[in-house]
Structure 1
Amino acid sequence: MIQQVEYLRCELQETKNRVILLENMANRDTLVPVFNRRGFLQELKRTISFAKRYKSCVSLIYLDIDKFKLINDRFGHSAGDKALTEIANILIEHTRASDAIGRIGGDEFAIILHHASNDDALVKAAQLASQVAGRIIEIDSEEVSVTISAGVTELTFDDDPVNVLSRADRMMYANKQFALRQSNIE
């Protein structure tokens, strides 16, 4: 009888471990060590609830790799993957462990900044853009520099995850268009 109970306890633990592994696989990006879109939206939903309950200030940064298609077209998809990995590593290195990073689309990332105002997020977005621009990625013995565009928004207590992402995405797109217009003027 004791052996059967011990056997069942081991089976139960193995089942729990498999469930955790499957949840992790369902919520993590397959290329870079961050949340995928599904996992990020779940984390954002939890964060909104937490922020509402504790009246906490939370902001979101939405990032897009500028001219990413050119990297893929010129060097191939493995080079694009290398660029994505490099950028994800920069984001991980330069954000807090309490923040959450997700790869939202092909070349788009988002970051939840806990205890951060809109102004804090703007500063962090500028720092991240500087870090990315300062990192040279070697692809096929060629040095390639990459830049990112960012949009920032502060969460409100009546937000939902899709609206927050959409708002930050619109801000990122507006900033990208402004930068393109500025470069055409000079």
Structure 2
Amino acid sequence: MSDELAQVPDPAKLAREVDRLRAMITTLEERVRLLDHLAHHDSMIDLPNRRGFMRQLGMLIGRVSRYGDSAAMLFVDIDGLKLINDSLGHKAGDQALIQVADLLSQGVRTSDCVARLGGDEFGILLDHSDEQAALETAARLADQIAAATFTCDGVSMPLSVAIGVAVIGSDDTPAAVIARADEAMYREKAAA
């Protein structure tokens, strides 16, 4: 019996070690959350990036497939951002991106997902939205951006966007939805 008692660790020491390990786990969990945020969000604009958008799009396709919900994607391309960058500098181009991101975010429901796909392109996921509602949202957003004034260092420049719409089907893939929305955006640009 005395040999067994000698092998039992000090309860106070054991409790301290458990507390230390719990604190380490909490720190590691916070780091994982931070890394996940960094991996899925744009570094300049507080919106999901392409990777985060793809995750949201995959989940939305799953809901459409499982529950028969209606949904759509808007592919947004800023017109003339290169002109802003070339004439006013990249700081102005960044400010234009931020302004467009804010206008897009304010122009949709909080349940919708607005993301920066890269460069001057944004994606918007509209949950519970059929084609007609998505087209109306796209037109309203384009009008809001065109009506907004963009000013940098006292110089005003017009902003405009081309927006393509793709309805999300139950058998879709994220790549197919983005390709259709991108094609629709290019048709919209060509028609303008």
Question: Identity across aligned pairs (percent)?
Answer: 39
**What code does the residue aligned with 1:128 have?**
L
Instruction: Give CA-to-partner distance per residue, 1:11-34, whole Å, 9 cap, x none.
Output: 111111100100100010111111
**What code does the residue aligned with 2:172 have?**
D
Aligned to 2:95: 82
Instruction: Give CA-to-partner distance per residue, 1:77-124, whole Å, 9 cap, x none.
Output: 111000000000111111112111111120010100000011111111
Aligned to 2:68: 55
Matches within 5 A, 1:1-186: 1-179=14-192
Please list every run of at least 4 consecutive aligned residues from structure 1 whose deviation after the TM superposition is greater than 3 angstroms. none
What's the secondary structure of 2:123's corresponding residue? strand
Q: Give the structure with higher Rg (CA).
A: 2
**What code does the residue aligned with 2:46 have?**
P
Q: Distance in 2 between matches of 1:69 and 1:132?
A: 17
Compute the TM-score of the two structures, normalised by the length of structure 2: 0.90
* 1:138 Cα deviation after fit: 1.0
Q: Distance in 2 between matches of 1:11 and 1:38?
A: 29
* 1:140 Cα deviation after fit: 2.1
Aligned residue pair count: 179
Instruction: Give CA-to-partner distance per residue, 1:36-64, whole Å, 9 cap, x none.
Output: 11111111111111221111111011110
What's the secondary structure of 1:38's corresponding residue? helix
What's the secondary structure of 1:59's corresponding residue? strand
Q: Distance in 1 between matches of 2:19 and 2:109?
A: 41
Q: CA RMSD in A?
A: 0.9
**Which blocks of at least 5 consecutive residues in structure 2 are unaligned?**
1-13
What's the secondary structure of 2:170's corresponding residue? coil
**What code does the residue aligned with 2:113 have?**
A
**Which blocks of at least 5 consecutive residues in structure 1 are unaligned?**
180-186
What's the secondary structure of 1:173's corresponding residue? helix
Q: Distance in 2 between matches of 1:7 and 1:97?
A: 40
* 1:177 Cα deviation after fit: 0.4
